[in-house]
Structure 1
Amino acid sequence: MSPQSRTSRAEQALWASRLYYHQDLTMEAIAQELKVSRSSVSRLLTFARESGLVEITIHSPEAAQNELEAWFANTFGVTAHVVRAPSRATKLERLDRTAHTAAAVLTQAVQSQLTIGVAWGSTLSAVASHLQAKPTHDSHIVQMNGAVNLRTTGVAYAGELLGRFATAFQMAVHEFPVPALFDDPATKQAMWRERSVHAVLEQQARAGVFMFGLGSPRAELPSHVYSGGYLDRADRAKVKNYGIVGDCATVFYRADGSDDGIDLNERSSGPSLDAIREIPHRLCVVSSSSKRDSLRGALAAGLITELVVDEVLARAVYAWHTGRGR
C-alpha cells in the first residue's frame, strides 16, 4: 500500500513539507520517498501552504498531528516532532535527519536575552552542524556538564560544539572545563566553591532552554560517556548493578526515571535531575531504537518538555508502553 493510500491528504502534505522545509530534500527525492510524482509533491506543498499547515515554518496543529506525536502529547505531556526516514536509511542517516529537524526547532525557540544550556555529545554535535544563523543580542550559550577525563581535557571537543551555537546565534560562550565525573565527591564540592566555577553554575541556573541528547550504555552508536574513557571498570559495573539505562548530561537514571542511590551522580558534573526539571524549556534530541529504554527513563523522570525523535525509536517506545513490544 502506497503512502498516498495510507494517509490523508493533510498528513501527506505535512510529511512532504517537513522533508522539504526542515530536511532540505529536493522535490525529486521527496517524490521517491513518498512514491508519488514530482508534480504531486508540488501540489502537496501548495496544499500545505494554502491550508495553513505551512507558513514560513511548518506548523503541526493538533488536527494534523500524526498519531505518534499526538500519543506523546497525550501520554507524557510533551511536544513531539517525529522525524520520518525511508526504511532503507542507515542509523547515521536517521540521526542526521533528526538533528536537522532539531536545529530548525531550536532556531524557532532562540531569542535575544536568552541563555541556552547544552550537554555535549554525538547528537548535539550533529545538531550543531545544521544550525542556521539567527542573530541575537545579550544572549548566552553555557556548557552544562564537564568533558574532562583521564584521556582528554575535552576542551577542544566541547569548545567546538559551543562555538557553533555561539556563531549561529551570536551568543556569549561559557565553557565548563571540569571533569565529567570526579574521582571523589568531596573534590567536586570544593571546586564548586571556586568563584570561577561558581560563576558558570550561576549561568547554568539562568538557562531558559536546555538542549540535550541521551546517553545509553546499549546504544548502537556508542555514547561518549560509555565509550570515551569516562567510566572505569568499577563504574561500568555500577551502571549494570544499578540498572542504569541512560544519562542526561552525565547524570544517570533507571528505566522508571529514578536516580536514588546512584552514587555515580554524586561525582557527576552535570545538573541534578531536579535542577533539570526547573528549566522551563527542555528540548531532547534522540535517535536509534537502541535508546528506547534511555528515552523511556527520561520521559518517566519528567526531563523533557519538547522532543525531536526519529520514527523508529518513537514507535519502539510506543510499542513498549502499550505492551506490544515487551
Structure 2
Amino acid sequence: MMKSSPRGTYKRATNGTSVHSTPKTKDALRAAQLYYLQDMKMEAIAKELGTSRSTVSRLLSHAKRTGMVSISISPSANMSALLGNQLSEHYGISFNVVPTDGNMDDSELLSRVAAHAAYLLGGMVSSSMTVGVAWGSTMQAVSMALGSHPTHDTKIVQLNGAANPVTSGVRYASDILTRFGQAFTARTEQFPVPAFFDRASTREAMWQETSIQRVLQVQKEMNLAVFSLGSAGSAVVSQVYRGGYLTKDEAQELNEIGVVGDVATVFFDKNGTSSNISLNARSTGPALDALRKVPTRFCVVAGRGKLQAVRGALKGGLITDLVIDEGTALALLDG
C-alpha cells in the first residue's frame, strides 16, 4: 500500500516479514498508518491512541526499525541523483551516489556511505538467497549500520579467510558475518582459512579438503556479493594493508607491478585484471572470473583514495551496483 504525502512516499512492508500481534506492534502499526498514510499530526495520533506524543514518536521509530514501513524518496533534480544517472549511463551499472559534505572527516564520510549502503541492502536481501560478504573497514561499518530485515532460508557466507601471521582474524571477520546474519535472520558460513597461504601449493591442497569444499560450494551459489575495494592510498587505510597481511616486500611488489586495488584480498591492476599477479595464487578470496559470475556484485566505496581502485574495478567488470560518496563520484566523472 503506497501513498504520497508531504512527508514523502511510504509503503507498508510487503516482504513477507511476520509482525507478531502484540499491543506494541499493533499500536506501532496504527500510529504508522495514521502518520504516514493519513498525514495526521503526532498530537492527534496521541489523542486517538490515548497516549503521549513522545510515545507516538517511539512507536513510529519502532515501526521503521522493525520493517512495518519502508521509506523511499523519489529522486529529484539534485546533484547526487543527476550524477548517479550520468555515471550509470556511462558505465552501464547502477550507481548510488551518497550526498556528502566536503567538510566531513574520513570517518564521518565512511559512516554516511555505510549507512546508505546498509539501507539499500535491506531491500536487496530476500529469503532463500546466498549472500557473500567480504571483511574490511568498510564492511565493518556497513555491518554496524544494518537494520532488522528478517528473511527465511538465507545464507551469509564469508568470501575470504582472515588469519595472518599476527592474528587469527577470526573475531574480526566473525563479528561482521554475525551482524549480517542477525540483520537478515540468516545462517552464517565462516571460512576458517588464512587470508594468504605461504605457498600456492598449500592452497591447492587445502581446496581439496571436504570441509573447505563445502564452503566453496556455498560461495558458488551466491546471488549477491557484498564487498568494498582495498587500496593502499585510502585515507581510512584498508585492513589488508595495515593489519599484518602483507610483508614490506609483498607490498612493494604489488606497487611495482601496478596493482590499484583488491576485492576480498584478490588484487587487480588498472584494467581490472589479476592474472599477472603472483600473490593471487596464494589468496583465499574468490577468483575474479568467479566473482563476475555472481548476478549482483554490490560494492561500497568511501573516499577519493580509492578512486584508482574504482576505475580498475569498473573497467574489469567487477561491479554491478556501486554505492559511492559524492566527491569520489565527481572525480570519477571528471576522468
Does residue 127 of the first structure (1) align with residue 136 of the second (2)? no
Cα separation, partners in 2 of 1:60 and 1:276, compared to 1, 3 Å: farther
Q: Which residue of 1 aligns with 2:268?
A: 253
Deviation digits for residues 264-304 of structure 1 (CA, Å, limit 9, x no counterpart): 11111000111110000110000001111011111111111
Q: Residue type matched to 2:172 in 1?
A: Y
In structure 2, the gaps of 5 or more residues are: 1-6, 10-69
Deviation at 1:65, TM superposition (A): 7.3
Q: Distance in 1 between matches of 2:154 and 2:161?
A: 21
Q: Distance in 2 between matches of 1:301 and 1:65?
A: 25
Q: Distance in 2 between matches of 1:286 and 1:267?
A: 25
Structure 1 stretches of at least 4 aligned residues deviating more than 6 Å after TM superposition: 61-65
Deviation at 1:319, TM superposition (A): 1.4
Does residue 74 of the first structure (1) align with residue 89 of the second (2)? yes
Is the partner of 1:312 in helix, strand or coil? Answer: helix
Aligned match of 1:173 in 188, 192, 202? 188
Paired residues, what number? 270
Deviation digits for residues 99-145 of structure 1 (CA, Å, limit 9, x no counterpart): 00000111100110001100100001000111111111111000000
Does residue 91 of the first structure (1) align with residue 91 of the second (2)? no
Deviation at 1:17, TM superposition (A): 7.2
Q: Residue type matched to 2:195 in 1?
A: A
Deviation digits for residues 153-181 of structure 1 (CA, Å, limit 9, x no counterpart): 11100111100011111100100010101
Q: Map 1:222-237 onto structure 2 (within 5 A).
A: 222-237=237-252
Preserved CA contact (<8 Å) 1:144 1:204: yes
The structure that has the greater radius of gyration is: 2
Q: Distance in 2 between matches of 1:247 and 1:293?
A: 11
Q: Map 1:1-326 onto structure 2 (within 5 A).
A: 56-60=71-75, 66-320=81-335
Q: Distance in 1 between matches of 2:290 and 2:156?
A: 17
Is the partner of 1:282 in helix, strand or coil? Answer: strand
Q: Distance in 1 between matches of 2:8 and 2:140?
A: 25
What is the aligned-residue RMSD (CA, Å)? Answer: 2.1
Preserved CA contact (<8 Å) 2:83 2:330: yes
Question: Identity across aligned pairs (percent)?
Answer: 42
Cα separation, partners in 2 of 1:198 and 1:268, compared to 1, 3 Å: same
Q: Distance in 2 between matches of 1:141 and 1:79?
A: 23
In structure 1, the gaps of 5 or more residues are: 1-15, 19-54, 321-326
Preserved CA contact (<8 Å) 2:80 2:99: no
Preserved CA contact (<8 Å) 2:80 2:326: no
Q: Distance in 2 between matches of 1:145 and 1:110?
A: 20
What TM-score does the superposition give when structure 2 sets the normalisation length? 0.77
Q: Distance in 1 between matches of 2:279 and 2:240?
A: 12
Preserved CA contact (<8 Å) 2:97 2:323: yes
Is the partner of 2:141 in helix, strand or coil? Answer: helix
Preserved CA contact (<8 Å) 2:127 2:154: yes
Q: Distance in 2 between matches of 1:62 and 1:258?
A: 36
Deviation digits for residues 165-209 of structure 1 (CA, Å, limit 9, x no counterpart): 111111001000101011100000100110001100000111101
Q: Distance in 1 between matches of 2:267 and 2:131?
A: 22
Q: Distance in 1 between matches of 2:94 and 2:270?
A: 21
What TM-score does the superposition give when structure 1 sets the normalisation length? 0.79
Is the partner of 1:71 in helix, strand or coil? Answer: helix
Is the partner of 1:308 in helix, strand or coil? Answer: strand
Cα separation, partners in 2 of 1:217 and 1:64, compared to 1, 3 Å: closer
